[in-house]
Amino acid sequence: MANETPDTHFKGWAKPGPIAPGHALGTSAGEGETLDAISGHFRLFQLKDGHRFSTDDILTAWYGASWCPTARTSLDLGSGIGTVGSICAWRLPGARFVTVEAQAVSVALAKRSAEFNGIADRYEIRTGDFRDAGVLRAEERFDLVTGSPPYFPTGTGVESDHPQKLACRFELRGTIADYCTTAAKHLAPGGFFACVFPTDQKQLERVMQGAADSGLVIVRRRPVVFREGELPLVALFGLMRTGDLPEWFRGQSWVEPDLIIRRKDGSIHPEYSAVKLAIGFPP
C-alpha cells in the first residue's frame, strides 16, 4: 500500500530509543538509494525505484510485537529489505532475530540497515527461499514469526518489470499457505504468527485454508481500512498452533474492530497515529 514518508522531528515529539551507530558514523545512502526513518533512530536503506516499505509492513510488525511482547526469539519470513524485522527489533530490544530473504539485492540493503542500527549482533539475515531445506534448521523454534506475503498468484495482474517490486506483490516464491506451513513448523510452544493479507472473501478463504492445513488457528483478525468509509482491503492475522490452545477455544476467532488509517478528509486517523508512536515513528 502507500509508502510511508521519511521523518525528522515533529514539534513536541522527539525520536525515542538509543542513537543508532550509523548516525555517529555519518553513514549515508549511495547512488539510487535513500536512507529513511522507520523506528525511533532506526533507519532503512531502500532503492529509490525498487520495493519500498509500506503501511502493510508497519502494521505487521506492530501487530506481532504487540501481541507477543515478551518474545525472546523472532523469525521474519520473506523479509525483503528488513522493514518488519527492524521494527520488531526496535520494539523487542531483548530478542534475537532470524530473517530469511531470497533476493540478494534486498539482503544487501537489509544487512547495511542492521549495521547502521547497531543490531547486527542479534539480527541474523539468511539468504534463500524459506521453503528450501537447510535455510531453517528443523529444530529451530521462535516465539514470534512474522510475514508480509505477496498477495497475488502470477498472471493475475499487472506485473512490474522490477524484480524487487514483482516479488513483493506476486507469488514467485511461495503462497500464504507456504508461510503458514513454515510458521507452524518453527513456532515455539505458545508462539504467535502475525501476517497481513487481503481480506476479500476469496483471499480470506486462502488464509483460512492455509491455516487449517498447517495446524494453525486464526485466533484474531483485524481488518484495515485505508480511508474512512471504504471497505477494508487487507487484514492483520494472529495465528497459533492448534495444539497450543485449549480444546474449548479451537475454531474460534475474534474479529477486532476495523483499524482506520486515514479519515475521510485524508488526515491521519488518531489510532494510526498511536500505532506509529508505538513503533517510534512520528505521527
Q: Are 34 and 48 a contacting pair, CB within 8 Å?
A: yes
What's the confidence (pLDDT) of residue 7? Answer: 45
Q: Is the pTM value of this prediction over 0.85?
A: yes
Q: Does residue 211 sit in helix, strand or coil? A: helix
The per-residue pLDDT for 251 is 73
Q: What does the pLDDT profile of the chain (283 residues) look like in tens digits?
A: 444 444 445 566 778 888 888 877 777 888 899 999 999 999 999 999 888 999 999 999 999 999 999 999 999 999 999 999 999 999 999 999 999 999 999 999 999 999 999 999 999 999 999 999 999 999 999 999 999 998 767 666 666 666 655 556 666 678 999 999 999 999 999 999 999 999 999 999 999 999 999 999 999 999 999 999 999 999 999 999 999 998 888 777 899 999 999 999 999 999 999 999 999 986 6
Q: Which of 78, 81, 191 is nearest to 136 (CA)?
A: 78
209 membership: H or E segment, kind and range: helix 201-214
Neighbours of 188 (CB within 10 A): 18
CA dihedral 84, 89, 91, 94 (to 10 degrees): 150
Distance CA(164)–CA(142), nearest Å, equals 27
As beta bridge partners, residue 10 has 13
Q: Please tell me the predicted confidence (pLDDT) of residue 281.
A: 82
Q: Which domains does the chain have, with CATH numbers?
A: 54-276 (3.40.50.150)
